[in-house]
Amino acid sequence: YRPFRYQVNYKKLPQGIILGSETASTVSSRGVYKFPVERKAMQREIDIQKSLHHPNCLNLYGMSVTPKGTPALLMELGDGCLTDYTTKQTKPRLSNQQKCQIILEIAQGLEYIHSKGCIHRDIKLDNILMKDGHPKIADFGLARSIDPSRSMEISFAGSPVL
């Protein structure tokens, strides 16, 4: 999530219109989807994120495809990721009360996601976007729907720890 790349990525979108300051277009870094498995994974991400309507989940407004076939998601515009918000902030440091409020709102978003039968599987500072001082859970690329009729499976997902 890098707001400074919006103008470059925007030029890759076929519709060529600006939808307003509250939206952002993200061209998939995964490239062109040529195989059914990749298309299925992208559709799963879109379906999950479209089904979530909570103040602490990033809104997905739609999807487009560039002329080269690269998927592009149209979503709510955040102010930046939580990493930047906590480490590159020029304002006074966050108080303990502000930090606790951010953690509480993230937990409320996760509780909502789980109540909808989904798990995110990649919660990290870079996947929490800030919008007007409130966290928004983003990047549902590794998210899965939970099938309550199946027993729990053990799998490893998420970003590697460096």
Kindly list the catalytic residues.
122
Measured in residues, the chain has a length of 162
Q: Is residue 44 exposed (0-12), middle (13-18) or buried (19+ Cβ within 10 Å)?
A: middle
What Rg do the C-alpha atoms of the chain give, in angstroms?
Answer: 17
Strands, DSSP E only, in 13-161? 23-27, 60-65, 71-76, 80-81, 118-119, 128-131, 134-137, 144-145
